[in-house]
Structure 1
Amino acid sequence: MVSWFECPWRLRRLADSLLLGGLLLLLVGLAGAYLFEARLALGMLVGAHALTVLGPALLKIGYVMRLLAQQKKESRCAHC
């Protein structure tokens, strides 16, 4: 598993997936928590508010992983 993170290209792909997933979670959470709040049950509303916290967390993790992949790509050879 550790060797999977050694390749900058794989790390970049994972980081891009986390960035996209975090953005989608944030947008779904914002829509549910603030646009459709009158139509949602209490449990769904709590879940939507939780997504507004989890989405940005994934965005931050993905961004840091992307920076790490870029740094590794510059310091290592061009292929894995």
Structure 2
Amino acid sequence: MYPLNLPPLQILLLSTRLLWAGLLLLILGLVAAYGLDKQLSLAALVLAHSLTLIGPSVLKIGYVLRLIAQARLAEGAGTHAVA
């Protein structure tokens, strides 16, 4: 049922890394696309603008993975508390 067959703590670690990577891509894209637009070639400028789209997408994937990991942790804690 879950997209990853990993322990919840590993999914949490993966989500944290994806969140940081998405934030880094977004900031790098924004700085390059809007701060260095005069110095960049057209291909580099297109790449910089694409980073401003890829960064938030990676952030969203990381956030969803974090929600999945937290749900699995709560689900595991609930079964142990009952037993």
Aligned-partner Cα distance in 1 for 2:5–2:43: 37
TM superposition outliers: structure 1 runs of 4+ over 3 Å:
none
Q: Residue 69 of structure 1: CA displacement?
A: 0.2
Deviation at 1:24? 0.1
| Residue matched to 2:54 | 54
So what's the TM-score if we normalise by structure 1? Answer: 0.88
Take 1:41 and 1:53, find their aligned partners in 2: how far apart are those partners? Answer: 19
Q: How many residues were matched structurally?
A: 75
Partner of 1:70: 70
State the AA in 1 paired with 2:36: F
Per-residue deviation, residues 27-57 of structure 1 (Å, max 9, x unmatched): 0000000000000011100000000000000
* TM-score, normalised by the number of residues in structure 2: 0.85
Q: What CA RMSD, in Å, does the superposition of the two structures yield over aligned residues?
A: 1.4
Please give the alpha-carbon distance, in whole angstroms, between the structure 2 residues aligned to 1:44 and 1:51: 11
Counterpart-to-counterpart distance in 2, 1:69 and 1:60: 14
5+ residue gaps, structure 2, are 78-83
Percent identity over the alignment is 44
Shift, 1:5, TM fit: 3.5
1:76 Cα deviation after fit: 1.1
1:13 alignment partner in structure 2: 13
